[in-house]
Structure 1
Amino acid sequence: MPNARQWMLIITGGLLLWYMLSSLAARREPEPSPGHQAFRQRLVAVGDLHGDIRNTRAVLRMAKLIDEHDKWIGGSDILVQTGDNIDRGTYALDIYRLFASLRDQASEAGGQLHTVLGNHEFMNAIGDWRYVSKADIAHWGGQKQRLHDMSLDGWLGQEWLANYTTTARVYLAPFKGAPSLSFTHGSLRPSYPDLLPYPDRINELGAGLLSRALTPPMAPPHPPNPYRGLPEGTTAAEAGVYDGGGPLWWRGLADELDEKTVCEWAKELKEKLGVRRIIGGHTPDFERIVDRCGGDVIIIDTGISYAYGGVLSALEIIYSLRPVDGAGELSTGVHALREGERYIEREEVYAVYQRGKKKITVIEQEMII
């Protein structure tokens, strides 16, 4: 049994170890600054859903965005979905209808819904139905109805053109120079020739290609019909959107094994685009959301659909501003953001799973807006 001196050494060593671990944790994750928040914004991003309405609802409920009746409860939250709602599963139709409803509900509550097109949306538009299940066609009401709905004359074709983009820049706050995030289905390539001006050029080309593809008569589905490729009249720049090196298909930020190379690409992209993080789907990891380069690159496809059997997941970002020294605070804690004043900016990034949240990164710094 330890004597008194040995007990003292054990206790002292334990206290020292506790202090070291506490100090390390403090350095890794900044504690929130004291004082009332002047501004707070929550953003949730969800990856590929591939025809699984049940898991779509489960993820949105897990993220506290909808209730059991599919009603928006996210208030001013922002929801981003990075494409590939269609193919492989049976209920893409229901997913698109759900998002159409949530778009209006979120807007009425002060929130936002941003929906990005994936390669599989474009595949269906140009007649590449290789991953369309018979059950999906039957649930849609047959091939003829499915084609009509996707055309320029149909509700989904009109929805895609009006409310879906090939890439999206989403701002975390409403002041000039606020940080923004880039969302694309695949990976943005630094050498992609139509990267700038971002996001307008990519979205212009994507909309042009999609409009051509959805103009009746649409290409007959392949299979069983021969694959026709891109629609007649497609320009070289529009074809580049759908090319293997374009934003719909390229996987470089996810697949490149050399981390240094990815971080160099990320740095170049951030500087060119003027964004803080580059977020995409397309390349699934069935166990987790993948973050690279300290969270500069985040890949959020975890194979949510039953067709893959991956984990249910969502990316959560909480952005807040606090006035330095409490300057200008009201007794209620409400504070109007004012240009030229100093604030403590805090951004918390988490991967959300059914088992809980995992921190990706937390940053805190002083800024003048």
Structure 2
Amino acid sequence: MASSRFLALLAVLIGLYFASRFELHKTLGVHERATAAFSSIFRQASTEQTPEVVIAEQNSQEAFKSATPSSPRRPFTRHIVAVGDLHGDLGNAQTVLQFSGVVDSFGNWTGDADFFVQTGDIIDRGDDTIKLFTWMESLRAQAAKVGGVVLSHLGNHEVMNAIGDWRYVYPSEIETFGSVAARQKMITTGRIGRAWAQNYTATSRLPLHPHLGPPNTPFPPPDHPVHFKKDDGEDGEEENSSYYDANEPLSHSALSFVHGGLSPTYSNLAPFPTKINALSSSLLHRLQSRPQPPPHPPSPYPGLPHGTTHEEVELYDANGPFWYRGWATDSEAKACVDVEKVLARTGTRRMIMGHTPDFTGIVSRCNGKIIIIDTGISHAYGGALSALSIHYTFTPVDNEAGEPRWIEREVVSALYVDRQEIIVDQEREVVGDFRFNEV
């Protein structure tokens, strides 16, 4: 009897090992069921257990404690890959996603990245609109099956096409749809239009650590007021420029993604990205639900629909997130002052955007707080094939005081066909207890 119970106990221990090995401990139910089973067997054997059983029970409890999701001391990693404007070029897009590790040679999701982010302007200047948007939806589904996430953004060219501004639509691209009317239907009520409405946003806030919640968790949180330190500006006036919260040291451990840019004078930055995305959704709905005007050219520019609100107009103007180019064109001195204000208000540490191409490579400004990833990937431009890679690690540190200390490290790299260039390699020590539940 004792030997059979010992074998049963051993089987449970082996199960616990494989549960921790393959991260089944992430499900609380596994923890509870395993604990209950162990306790039951141990109680049955308690009157006749051998010294070996006692030692095994003690060791297994220690091992189990170290593997449970409640343990605050396990390391965390996150890998993000972002790609800029693709403009109708499936071949170059596949090349970029393959050398950056997002897809394999067959164009399927590899699982090497936790997040793949595309910052808009998939449409126009090429003939692969249908193929590209179909592929993105396929990758989205493949990623979701293995815990990955695809974040997609509307660019100014997606919105232009929804308006009826077809200045950059090639006749050969219209032929891939069959007709003008078929193309209008596809980008309104058809599968591309539905994908835009369901899966594409104007901007994203992507936390580097799951303690801050899932992507696009609003900042500041509705139940948590934001406090700003007041810093003296150059002109002697006080400006709210840096967020602080002693109880939330990871508050700005997040990235923003957008097509054009988040202007420091844009009026709807907060709550971020909730407000901008709500406006984008409402504007897209107006455009897709109205009777489709004949495209421009050759017809007159149709403009925004009747009833468009002032905030929706502001969203689409030159200072809005689809069109803003200040982060690429402003002087370094001005950009580096202004970016601090935007980062403070959006709860992020760096802004990543496309829209303004540099055909030689990815542009980093202000120590990586501004990163512009449009490099003219499409053959229409003949620019550099590139991707941005972000590796984030959060590692526990042993210390004599027994405090929950961590090393937070972020390595940001520009990837090209033949090389990798490190843009940022920063680390800092952080103290605190943090949630590690995956999101």
Aligning the two structures, in what range does the TM-score lie when normalised by the shorter sequence? 0.7 to 0.9
> Larger Cα Rg: Structure 1 or Structure 2?
2
SS class of match (2:426): strand
Q: Say if 2:413 and 2:421, in contact at 8 Å, map to a contact too.
A: yes
Q: Residues 5-47 of structure 1: CA distance to partner in whole angstroms, max 9, x if unpaired? A: xxxxxxxxxxxxxxxxxxxxxxxxxxxxxxx971111100000
Q: Secondary structure at the match of 1:175?
A: helix
Q: Does 1:83 align with 2:146?
A: no
2:384 aligned counterpart, secondary structure? coil
Following TM superposition, the consecutive aligned residue runs of length 4 or more in structure 1 with deviations greater than 2 angstroms are: none
Unaligned runs of at least 5 residues, structure 1: 1-35, 328-339
Once the two structures are superposed, what CA deviation does each residue of 1:264-311 show, in whole Å capped at 9, x if it has no partner? 111111111110101100000000100000000000000000000001
Q: Which has the higher contact order (CA 8 A, sep 6+)?
A: 1
Q: Aligned equivalents of 1:52 and 1:142: distance in 2? A: 20
SS in 2 for 1:319: strand
Secondary structure of 2:192's aligned partner: helix
- Aligned partner letter, 2:85: D
Q: Deviations over 1:59-85 (max 9, x none)?
A: 000111111222100245211000000
Are residues 1:51 and 2:124 paired?
no
The aligned counterpart of 1:357 is: 420
In structure 1, the residue matched to 2:376 is: 303
Q: What does residue range 1-369 of structure 1 map to in structure 2 within 5 Å?
A: 38-75=75-112, 77-151=114-188, 153-176=189-212, 177=250, 179-256=253-330, 258-325=331-398, 341-368=404-431, 369=434
Deviation of residue 262 (structure 1)?
Answer: 0.2
Paired with 2:396 and 2:268, the residues of 1 have a C-alpha distance of: 39
Aligned-pair identity (%): 47
Contact kept in structure 2, 1:185 and 1:247, CA below 8 Å? yes
Find the aligned partners of 1:241 and 1:307 in 2 and give their Cα distance.
28
Partners of 1:137 and 1:54 lie apart in 2 by: 19
Distance 1:158 1:167 in 2: 18
Q: Structure 2 CA distance, aligned partners of 1:121 and 1:150? A: 9
> How far has the Cα of 1:140 moved from its partner?
1.9
Query: SS in structure 2 opposite 1:321?
Result: strand
Distance in 2 (alpha carbons) for counterparts of 1:206 and 1:347: 31
Return the offset for 1:171: 1.3
| Residues 301-357 of structure 1: per-residue CA shift (max 9 Å, x gap) | 000000000010000000001110299xxxxxxxxxxxx832111100100001110
How far the C-alpha of 1:228 sits from its partner, in A, is: 1.2
